[in-house]
């Protein structure tokens, strides 16, 4: 478990992370989202003791990072896959890390096997492809068999096989009861991987919710109807007091409807349907919907990134209505 309590980081006048409080729980993959410059990397660096908070705290299983005697046994992280010593072999990179954390050498071969690098264990890591480098970084995170794992943009530049592998690895690790915290700009990938989301904008917490609730609350769900009797269908919907929007491709869209209700209505009026489909917004749409507010706020008043004069995210209190019928 990772607990953030009022975590704040200022760089001069710039507030990179602003009073962030949340708990990242074990047994699930928690996605960490935010637009560019939202403060994700800074937050992760503070979690790992690489940056000191200006105020507030981070606790790793109840302890400050600096109080962990052998930190790799508590928390493993992939922050920068290129951070490895290029002149050393994959094996020796991991061995050095193992020795400094009193991890047995046998573990090195185990994690190389887990990430599929056994065959290139003796090769210098500077010759590694981006995907191999990511795998080596993940091997180093796994080395201490920690209960908490953090991955910053783990799928960047990976091919579909590599992305699929990392996704399954994170799910497996979460299934073992570990705490998995992952940031990514690839929304489609995040939607497939994360169970829970923490979303930040301008350093502030925007959402701490399940994936399903996040999408539900920040986006539109509607039913698409297409019929060779489109005029008739439009009239029937109108008579029933149902508002339908033109989709632009000949279909009609009804907000907040169910396919059951729409299908039965069409059947009652013997209208042939060529399409009857429930449309749920994607994580990407929900994310854009939510963070659009953050960009809008920034454009109107944020010239130097100074904190807003009053609660800027109050609009999110009305989240369920956002985007409906937009
Ligand atoms: N060392 C630093 N000195 C000054 N400002 C910094 C420093 N590190 C980060 N910042 C600023 O803090 C803010 C948050 O940066 P951070 O890198 O944490 O965001 P991010 O969410 O990880 O962004 P991205 O998605 O682009 O990687 C940005 O405005 C950034 O310019």
H, E, C per residue of 64-101: CHHHCCCHHHCEEEECCHHHCCCCCEHHHHHHHHHHHC
243 and 195 in a single domain? The answer is: no
Mean pLDDT of 184-209: 91
68 and 186 in a single domain? The answer is: yes
Question: In this predicted model, what pLDDT tens digit does every residue of 161-184 receive, in sequence order?
Answer: 889 999 999 999 999 999 999 998
The domain of 272 spans 221-280
Mean pLDDT of 82-111: 86
Q: Which of the residue ranges 18-22, 76-80, 94-98, 164-168 has the most confident prediction, judged by mean pLDDT?
A: 18-22
The Cα–Cα gap between 46 and 225 comes to 50
229 and 211 in a single domain? The answer is: no
173 and 269 in a single domain? The answer is: no
6 and 70 in a single domain? The answer is: yes
In a domain, 306, yes or no: no
For residue 239, report the distance from its CA to the centre of ligand 1, in Å: 54
| The pLDDT value given to residue 293 | 65
Q: What end-to-end distance do the CA atoms of the chain give, in Å?
A: 38
User: pLDDT category, 300, cuts 50, 70, 90?
Assistant: very low
Per the model's pLDDT, the better-predicted residue between 228 and 80 turns out to be: 228
**Based on the structure, what is the number of domains in the chain?**
2
Average pLDDT of the chain is 85
In a domain, 79, yes or no: no
User: pLDDT category, 82, cuts 50, 70, 90?
Assistant: low
Given a cut of 90, is residue 288 above it in pLDDT? no
**Atom of ligand 1 at shortest distance to CA of 38?**
21
In a domain, 82, yes or no: no
In a domain, 297, yes or no: no
156 and 268 in a single domain? The answer is: no
In a domain, 52, yes or no: yes
For residue 15, report the distance from its CA to the centre of ligand 1, in Å: 10
In a domain, 178, yes or no: yes
User: pLDDT category, 309, cuts 50, 70, 90?
Assistant: very low
For residue 70, report the distance from its CA to the centre of ligand 1, in Å: 28
CB-defined site of ligand 1, < 6 Å? 11, 14, 16, 34, 36-42
Share of the chain above pLDDT 70, in %: 88
User: pLDDT category, 81, cuts 50, 70, 90?
Assistant: low
151 and 204 in a single domain? The answer is: yes
| The pLDDT value given to residue 323 | 34
Given a cut of 70, is residue 27 above it in pLDDT? yes
205 and 232 in a single domain? The answer is: no
Q: Final residue of a domain: which of 215, 235, 269?
A: 215
User: pLDDT category, 294, cuts 50, 70, 90?
Assistant: low
In a domain, 15, yes or no: yes
**Atom of ligand 1 at shortest distance to CA of 12?**
4
67 and 176 in a single domain? The answer is: yes
Per the model's pLDDT, the better-predicted residue between 318 and 24 turns out to be: 24
In a domain, 243, yes or no: yes
CATH number of the domain at 180, please.
Answer: 3.40.50.300
Nearest to 283, CA basis, from 21, 11, 31? 31
Question: In this predicted model, what pLDDT tens digit does every residue of 88-102 receive, in sequence order?
Answer: 888 998 999 899 888
276 and 163 in a single domain? The answer is: no
The Cα–Cα gap between 103 and 168 comes to 25
Mean pLDDT of 204-215: 90
C-alpha angle with apex 280: 151 to 160, nearest 5 degrees? 40
161 and 57 in a single domain? The answer is: yes
Residue with CA at minimum distance from ligand 1 atom 8: 42
Per the model's pLDDT, the better-predicted residue between 324 and 108 turns out to be: 108
CATH number of the domain at 240, please.
Answer: 3.30.70
Residue with CA at minimum distance from ligand 1 atom 27: 36
**Atom of ligand 1 at shortest distance to CA of 42?**
18
Residue with CA at minimum distance from ligand 1 atom 14: 39
Given a cut of 50, is residue 322 above it in pLDDT? no
**Atom of ligand 1 at shortest distance to CA of 39?**
18
Q: What is the ipTM of this complex?
A: 0.97
């Amino acid at each position: 478990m990772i607990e953030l309590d009022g975590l704040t980081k200022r760089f001069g006048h710039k507030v990179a992370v602003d009073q962030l409080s949340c708990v990242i729980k074990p047994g699930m993959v928690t996605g960490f989202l935010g637009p560019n410059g939202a403060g994700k990397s800074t937050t992760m660096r503070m979690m790992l003791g690489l940056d000191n908070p200006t105020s507030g705290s981070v606790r790793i299983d109840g302890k400050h990072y600096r109080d962990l005697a052998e930190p790799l046994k508590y928390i493993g992280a992939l922050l920068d896959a290129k951070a490895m010593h290029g002149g050393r072999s994959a094996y020796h990179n991991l061995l050095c890390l193992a020795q400094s954390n009193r991890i047995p050498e046998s573990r090195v071969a185990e994690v190389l096997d887990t990430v599929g690098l056994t065959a290139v264990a003796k090769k210098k890591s500077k010759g590694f492809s981006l995907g191999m480098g990511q795998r080596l970084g993940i091997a180093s995170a796994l080395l201490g068999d920690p209960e908490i794992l953090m991955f910053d943009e783990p799928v960047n530049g990976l091919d579909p096989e590599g992305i699929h592998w990392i996704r399954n690895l994170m799910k497996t690790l979460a299934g073992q009861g570990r705490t998995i915290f992952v940031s990514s700009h690839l929304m489609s990938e995040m939607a497939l991987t994360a169970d829970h989301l923490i979303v930040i904008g301008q350093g502030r917490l925007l959402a701490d919710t399940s994936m399903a609730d996040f999408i539900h609350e920040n986006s539109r769900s509607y039913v698409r109807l297409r019929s060779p009797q489109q005029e008739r269908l439009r009239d029937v919907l109108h008579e029933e007091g149902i508002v339908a929007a033109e989709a632009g491709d000949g279909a009609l869209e009804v907000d907040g409807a169910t396919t059951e209700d729409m299908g039965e209505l069409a059947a009652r009026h013997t209208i042939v349907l060529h399409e009857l489909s429930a449309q749920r917004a994607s994580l990407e749409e929900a994310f854009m919907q939510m963070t659009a507010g953050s960009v809008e706020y920034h454009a109107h008043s944020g010239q130097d990134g100074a904190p807003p004069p009053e609660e800027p995210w109050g609009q999110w209190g009305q989240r369920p209505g956002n985007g409906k019928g937009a």
